[in-house]
Amino acid sequence: MPQLPPRRRDRLGTRVAALLTGLLLAVGAQTATAAPAPTWIGTWGTSSTSVPASANTVFQDQTLRQIVHTSVGGSTLRVRLSNEFGSQPLVVGEAHVARSASEGSDARVEPGSDRRITFGGKPTATVPAGAPLLSDPVALPVRPGADLVISLYLPERTPATTVHGSPFQDGFLTSGNATGSTDFDSPTVLPQWYFLSGVRVAGEPRRGGTVVAFGDSITDGAITTPGANRRWPDFLARRFQADRGLRHLGVVNSGIGGNRLLHDPNPPEGSPAQDYAAYFGQSALRRFDRDVLLQPGVRHVVVLIGVNDLGHPGNIAPISEKVTAHDLIAGYRQLIARAHERGVEIHGATITPFRGDTLGFYNPDNEAVRQQVNHWIRTSGEYDGYVDFDAAVRDPRQPDRLLPAYDSGDHLHPNDAGMEAMANSVPLRLFR
44-83 residue pLDDT tens: 999 999 999 999 999 999 999 999 999 999 999 999 999 9
Q: What whole-number distance in Å separates Cα of residue 398 and Cα of residue 392? A: 13
Residues 6+ apart with CB under 8 A from 271: 316
CA distances from 305 to 3, 107, 257 (A): 77, 34, 10
How much is the pLDDT for 36? Answer: 65
Q: What's the CATH fold of domain 208-431?
A: Rossmann fold (3.40.50)
* Structural domain spans, the chain: 54-196, 208-431
- Which phi and psi angles does 245 have, rounded to 5°? -80, -10
Distance, CA of 389 to CA of 378 (rounded, Å): 11
Q: Model pTM greater than 0.85?
A: yes
Give, in order, the Cα–Cα distances in Å from 388 to each of 184, 370, 421. Answer: 44, 13, 11
Give the model's pLDDT for residue 103: 78
Low-confidence ranges of the chain (pLDDT < 70): 1-36
pLDDT value at residue 171: 97
Per-residue model confidence (pLDDT) at position 206: 75
What are the backbone angles phi and psi of residue 155, rounded to the nearest 5°?
-75, -30
Enter the DSSP assignment of 351. Answer: P
Conformational region of residue 116, where left means phi above 0, alpha means psi within -120 to 50, and beta covers everything else: beta
- pLDDT given for residue 255 in this prediction: 98
- Give the span between the Cα atoms of 188 and 161, in whole angstroms: 19
Task: Let me know: does 96 contact 114? Beta carbons within 8 Å.
Answer: yes
Q: So what's the pLDDT on residue 24?
A: 42
